[in-house]
C-alpha cells in the first residue's frame, strides 16, 4: 500500500512538473484600501492635482533650533567609520547644514520638475512627471517609470532625468527619448503612508500600475534599484502584458539554487557559470559575508520594531542625518569605512545629501519608510518563488552590497536580454553615476525595441 502511495505521489509530482514547467505564472492583481478608517462607498476621486514643494520660516527655524541643541559623543581614536558615522566629521556636516545650506534654494530645485498627487487605494500618491521638451519630429516618447528605494527618494533621479528626456542636448543620441515618471513610495516623502498593516511591495506595485494607467499608459518601461527593484519586479509579475521592459540595478534573489553554490564557487566557479569578473566581485566570500553582516544591522531593526528607532530619528535632525548618510557612505563603497569622512563628498555634494535628508525630515516620514521593511521581510511571499517573464536588463555595479552574476539573474528573469558589468558605482546608481545608468537603460531599450 505504501509503495503504491509513494509511486502515485512521485507520478503526480512528475506530471505537475511537466504541466507547470512552461507556465508563466503571475501574481493575482487583487485590490486594496490603505487609507484611514473604513473604505468609503463613494467612488475614489481619480483626479490628478498639481503639487508644489513648499517651506516656511517656522520649518527652518525649528530645524535650526534642534541642530543648535545637538549632543554628540566623541568617537574612539582612529575609529573612522568602523563604528558608524564618525561624529568628528558629523560636526562639519552640522555646521554646513546650520550656516550654509539653503533649503529655500533646494526647494526651488525640487520644483524645477512638475509634481503631482492623485488618490489611489485611499492614499495620496506623489510623483513627478517629466515630458521631453525637444522631441524629434515623428517620434513618440517612451514612458519610463523609475522607482527609488530606502533611504532614497525621487530626488535621486534628478540628474538622470535630463539624460533620458533630452538626450541630444546632453551628448547622447535621440534615438530613444523617454517620458519619465518618478513616484514616491507610500510612506516616503510626499506620498501618504498606509494607515493599515500589511502594506508591502506588491501593494505598492499595484498602486504604481494604477498610476500609469491613470496617466494614460497601457504599456511602459520600468526601472528600479533597492526597494524599487522589488516593486518593479512585482509589477512585472502582476501585469506582464503591460510591461515593455524591466531594467534593474539590483535584484533580490533569495530562494535560488545558485545562491547555494557560493561556498563551492571559488573552486568550481566555471561549473556554475561564474565569469572571472564574477569571481572577483564575489570572493573571498568570507570578506563579502562579514561586510554584509556589518551593513545589515539596520535591516533587522527595521524589519522587527521600526517604530522604536523611528521615535528617535523623527525627533532629531542630526540623528536622522547620521543614520541615513552612513548608508550613502558604505553602500557607495564598502572601503569608505576606512576614511575619516566616510568618503561622502567623493561622490556627492553636501547640498544633494542634505536635500535627501530634508525630504524625510520635513515630511516626518522616516518611521513610515522603515515600516516597509517589516511589511516585506520576515514572512513567506509568493513573489519570491515566481519567475519574471518580461524582457529584462540588468546593470551590475561593482560596489553594490552584493554582486549578482548573470546566471543568478537569469534564473529569476529568464528573458534577460542585457547584462552589463558597470565600470564603477555602488548602491545609489542613479544618484552616483547617472550617465552610466542612463547609457545602460538606453542600451537595454535598444535591444528590446529591435527584438
Q: Which residues are catalytic?
A: 226, 373, 427
Q: How far apart (Å, rounded) are the C-alpha atoms in residues 190 and 126?
A: 6
Q: How far apart (Å, rounded) are the C-alpha atoms in residues 131 and 113?
A: 9
Beta bridge partners of 356: none
- ∠ Cα 53 234 198 (to 5°): 70
- Asked whether the beta carbons of 235 and 228 are under 8 A apart, the reply is no
Q: How far apart (Å, rounded) are the C-alpha atoms in residues 283 and 46?
A: 51
Spatial neighbors of 288 by CB under 8 A, at least 6 apart, are 282, 402
Q: How far apart (Å, rounded) are the C-alpha atoms in residues 128 and 117?
A: 9
Q: Is the dihedral of CA 53, 57, 59, 61 positive or negative?
A: positive
Distances (CA, A) of 314 to 83, 323, 394, 423: 22, 11, 35, 37
Minimal CA–CA distance to 401: which of 309, 287, 273? Answer: 287
CA torsion 68-74-79-81 (nearest 10°) is -20
- Asked whether the beta carbons of 309 and 299 are under 8 A apart, the reply is no
SS3 for 138?
coil
Distances (CA, A) of 91 to 60, 67, 151, 281: 19, 11, 21, 34
Q: How far apart (Å, rounded) are the C-alpha atoms in residues 229 and 221?
A: 13
Spatial neighbors of 380 by CB under 8 A, at least 6 apart, are none
Q: How far apart (Å, rounded) are the C-alpha atoms in residues 284 and 147?
A: 32
> CB atoms < 10 A from the CB of 154, how many?
26
Amino acid at each position: 500500500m505504501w509503495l503504491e502511495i509513494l509511486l502515485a505521489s512521485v507520478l503526480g509530482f512528475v506530471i505537475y512538473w511537466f504541466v507547470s514547467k512552461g507556465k508563466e505564472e503571475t501574481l493575482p492583481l487583487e485590490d486594496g484600501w490603505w487609507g484611514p478608517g473604513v473604505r468609503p462607498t463613494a467612488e475614489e476621486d481619480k483626479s490628478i492635482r498639481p503639487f508644489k514643494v513648499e517651506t516656511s520660516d517656522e520649518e527652518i527655524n525649528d530645524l535650526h533650533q534642534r541642530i543648535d541643541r545637538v549632543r554628540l559623543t566623541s568617537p574612539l581614536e582612529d575609529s573612522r567609520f568602523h563604528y558608524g558615522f564618525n561624529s568628528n566629521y558629523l560636526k562639519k556636516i552640522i555646521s554646513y547644514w546650520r550656516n550654509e545650506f539653503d533649503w529655500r534654494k533646494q526647494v526651488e530645485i525640487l520644483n524645477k520638475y512638475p509634481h503631482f498627487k492623485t488618490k489611489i487605494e485611499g492614499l495620496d500618491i506623489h510623483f513627478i512627471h517629466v515630458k521631453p521638451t525637444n522631441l524629434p519630429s515623428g517620434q513618440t516618447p517612451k514612458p519610463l517609470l523609475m522607482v527609488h528605494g530606502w533611504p532614497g527618494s525621487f530626488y535621486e533621479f534628478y540628474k538622470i532625468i535630463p539624460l533620458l528626456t533630452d538626450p541630444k542636448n546632453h551628448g547622447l543620441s535621440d534615438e530613444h527619448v523617454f517620458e519619465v515618471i518618478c513616484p514616491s513610495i507610500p510612506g516616503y516623502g510626499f506620498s501618504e503612508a498606509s494607515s493599515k498593516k500589511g502594506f508591502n511591495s506588491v501593494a505598492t506595485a499595484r498602486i504604481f500600475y494604477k498610476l500609469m494607467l491613470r496617466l494614460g499608459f497601457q504599456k511602459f518601461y520600468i526601472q528600479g534599484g533597492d526597494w524599487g527593484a522589488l516593486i518593479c519586479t512585482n509589477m512585472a509579475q502582476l501585469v506582464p502584458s503591460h510591461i515593455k521592459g524591466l531594467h534593474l540595478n539590483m535584484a533580490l534573489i533569495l530562494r535560488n539554487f545558485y545562491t547555494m553554490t557560493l561556498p563551492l564557487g571559488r573552486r568550481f566557479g566555471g561549473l556554475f557559470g561564474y565569469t572571472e569578473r564574477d569571481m572577483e566581485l564575489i570572493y573571498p566570500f568570507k570578506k563579502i559575508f562579514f561586510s554584509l553582516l556589518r551593513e545589515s544591522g539596520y535591516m533587522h531593526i527595521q524589519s522587527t520594531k521600526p517604530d522604536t528607532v523611528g521615535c528617535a530619528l523623527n525627533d532629531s535632525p542630526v540623528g536622522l542625518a547620521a543614520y541615513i548618510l552612513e548608508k550613502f557612505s558604505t553602500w557607495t563603497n564598502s572601503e569608505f569605512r576606512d576614511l575619516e569622512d566616510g568618503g561622502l563628498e567623493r561622490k556627492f555634494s553636501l547640498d544633494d545629501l542634505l536635500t535627501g535628508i530634508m525630504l524625510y525630515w520635513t515630511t516626518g516620514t522616516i518611521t513610515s519608510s522603515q515600516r516597509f521593511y517589516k511589511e516585506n521581510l520576515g514572512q513567506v511571499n509568493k513573489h519570491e518563488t515566481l519567475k519574471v517573464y518580461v524582457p529584462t536588463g540588468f546593470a551590475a555595479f561593482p560596489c553594490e552590497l552584493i554582486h549578482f552574476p548573470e546566471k543568478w539573474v537569469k534564473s529569476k528573469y529568464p528573458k534577460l536580454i542585457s547584462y552589463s558589468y558597470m565600470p564603477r558605482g555602488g548602491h545609489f546608481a542613479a544618484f552616483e553615476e547617472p550617465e552610466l545608468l542612463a547609457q545602460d537603460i538606453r542600451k537595454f531599450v535598444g535591444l528590446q525595441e529591435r527584438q
